Amino acid sequence: MYEKLRPRLKMLGPDGLWTLMLSNLVILCCLGITLIPVAHRVYRIAKTTRATAGPNDLLMVMGARLENDRITPVYKQRLDRTLAVYDNQKAPRILILGGITWGNRTSEAQRGQEYLLTRGIKADDVILEDQSRNTLENLKHARPFIRSLGGHPVLISSRFHLARCSSLARGIGVESGLCAAEDEFGLSFSSARRLLAETYYLHWYEVGRRWSRWTRNKKSLARIS
């Protein structure tokens, strides 16, 4: 059990574990009330975000964990949305984000590129960022590409994931738009479960960011900014 958790614990580090515990403590002490505004934001963005991108936008496809090195239905939706908006680009540029995550041998970006190329996307239009392991690293590692490629970045992801993408992007100084992978928002048991999970993750991030600023923890601030 520990061997399975070890890579994730190492990735979190002491600061990540501490802010996770602090976030849980805030939830418990406030009887979950602090989750309400976060949940509202996650739901609102999931419901109202459009599934479009502009002709001059830099399309940034957020990675999703592979299963046995294979693309999951969630990741496929993000890639299919990229295909749908690609033809409207005046100077098509697609930046696929995602490295090798635990349990896989191939990066998310590589699998995403292979999927797009087999469906007619030109290889010169696809750029890979394949070193990141989570959403925050996705965006931090994308910054040099954004500066070099130019254009307005638009984050393409699943509706349940968009609020966290938006908050993390702002937190590291990336001004971006959002494009939903799904045509419309549909509330089901599965989507509700994912929205709740995103609420928890985003609450953790917000508590950690405020704590790091209040304590002036340079190491933690460097990690999230």
Domains, the chain, in order of start with CATH, read 50-180 (3.40.50.620)
Residues 202 and 163 sit within 8 Å (Cβ to Cβ): yes
Tell me what the mean pLDDT of segment 149-164 comes to.
95
Express each pLDDT in 162-183 by its tens digit: 999 999 999 999 999 999 999 9
Q: What is the pLDDT of residue 4?
A: 47
Q: Report angle CA 181, 42, 191 to the nearest 5 degrees.
A: 60
Token duo for residue 152: 């307005």
Q: What is the pLDDT of residue 7?
A: 54
Instruction: Specify the pTM.
Output: 0.91
Residue 6 has pLDDT above 60, yes or no: no
Tell me what the mean pLDDT of segment 193-207 comes to.
97
Express each pLDDT in 17-60 by its tens digit: 889 999 999 999 999 999 999 999 999 999 999 999 999 899 99
Where are the alpha helices (H) located in the chain, listed in sequence order? 2-29, 35-48, 73-86, 108-117, 135-149, 162-171, 189-215, 218-224
